[in-house]
Amino acid sequence: THFGFRDVAENEKESLVHNVFANVAGSYDIMNDAMSMGIHRIWKDEFIRNMAPGPGTKLLDVAGGTGDIALRFLDFCKNIHRDSTASVTMVDINPHMLEEGKKRFQKTQYAHTNQANFLVQNAENLEAIPDASVDVYTIAFGIRNCTHVDRVVKEAYRVLKPGGRFMCLEFSKVDNPVIGKFYDIYSFDIIPTLGQVIANDRDSYQYLVESIRQFYSQDEFAKIIRDAGFSTVGKGYENLTFGVAAIHSGFKM
Ligand code: SAM
């Protein structure tokens, strides 16, 4: 049946995504730098500046991977507010990625604190996270890998406290035709080659490029966020680097 086909396709996507991230876990941080020429660091810094977390913020970082967002968040709280009461729970569907994150945190000042926790969870069903329990929900470069984006956003709504904020950093659609041409060449030719050379894994990086192309436009995604019940300010997003990436955000009122 039609639904039978859809189920097969969905299972395939989940296991494909699992294999991609299991394959790339060890080389993930190096590849991130190589692929984005370091720009992902600037985007992530902007993401945390935009969040501007206050003292004691409880963050849930979904699809947390190796902990880039979590670490920047705790550093911001520490350096700006001298705050050691903020905390972050990182969740990811892939235990290999979380293991890389744990190893990394063990080398930081947060190693023996209760400021960072790790949990294996599917973003579409955060069963270990209670309703209305977090101040800020983040998902960075993770939502386009999920099968049901609308379920992910609804789960975000459920776990946020009233007044809480949903924030997503994700690749998006370039809004400039000239930059768009360069971007096409870069993503279709150069990124898979870098994957081949650095990680010996062309296919995984080919998948990542295709998943970027298939994801929603800025406005389509902003609508999904509003449809889940969030209130947005203005258009609901901010473009980064001509829309190569975007920050979407919404408040649970
Ligand atoms: N947030 C990190 C960052 O910005 O560097 C990691 C991003 S990484 C590109 C995407 C992560 O999403 C991977 O660690 C992958 O395992 C995770 N992921 C994919 N599907 C997921 C799902 N359904 N639920 C939770 N995590 C998922």
Least confident of 62-76, 185-199, 224-238: 185-199
CA 249 vs. chain centroid, Å, equals 13
Q: Which atom of ligand 1 is nearest to the CA of 97?
A: 14
Which residue type, as a one-letter code, is found at position 78?
Answer: K
Residues 208 and 144 sit within 8 Å (Cβ to Cβ): no
Query: What's the mean pLDDT in 18-38?
Result: 77
Q: Percentages helix, strand, coil for the chain, rounded to the nearest 5?
A: 55, 20, 25
Give me the sign of the Cα torsion angle 83, 246, 6, 187: negative
Please state, for a pLDDT cut of 70, what percent of the chain lies above it. Answer: 96
Q: How do residues 88-118 score in pLDDT, each as one tens digit?
A: 999 999 999 999 999 999 999 999 999 999 9
120 or 17, higher pLDDT: 120
Give the pLDDT mean for 10-17. Answer: 77
**Are the C-beta atoms of residues 208 and 21 closer than 8 Å to each other?**
no
Measured from the CB, is residue 94 less than 6 Å from ligand 1? yes
Four-point Cα dihedral 40, 44, 46, 48, nearest 10: 180
- How far, rounded to the nearest angstrom, does the alpha carbon of residue 174 sit from its chain's CA centroid? 19
Q: How far apart are the first and last CA of the chain?
A: 41
Tell me whether residue 92 is annotated as binding. yes
Measured distance CA(124)–CA(148) in Å, rounded:
7
**How far does residue 6's CA lie from ligand 1's centre (Å)?**
22
What pLDDT score was predicted for residue 9?
65
Q: Of 115-119, 129-133, 193-197, which range is least confident? A: 193-197
Distance CA 164, CA 47 (A): 16
What's residue 168's pLDDT? Answer: 98
Left (φ > 0), alpha (ψ -120 to 50) or beta: where does 145 sit?
alpha
Which pair of tokens denotes residue 149?
A: 């984006």
150 is in an annotated binding site: no
Tell me which of 28, 145, 207 to substitute to probe ligand 1's pocket, judged by most ligand atoms within 8 Å of the beta carbon.
145
pLDDT, one tens digit per residue, over 139-163 is 999 999 999 999 999 999 999 999 9
**Per-residue confidence (pLDDT) for residue 80, from 0 to 100:** 95
Least confident of 12-26, 100-114, 125-139: 12-26
Token reading at 19: 């294999």
Domains of the chain as residue ranges with CATH: 2-172+217-251 (3.40.50.150)
Mean predicted lDDT score pLDDT of the chain? 92
DSSP code of 25? Answer: G
Q: Name the pLDDT band for 198 (thresholds 50, 70, 90).
A: confident
pLDDT at 136: 98
Q: Is pLDDT of 10 > 80? A: no
Closest atom, ligand 1, to C-alpha of 208 = 9
The pTM is what?
A: 0.92
Residue 110 to residue 90: CA distance in whole angstroms:
14
Nearest-10 crossing angle of helices 95-106, 68-81? 30
Complex-level ipTM: 0.99
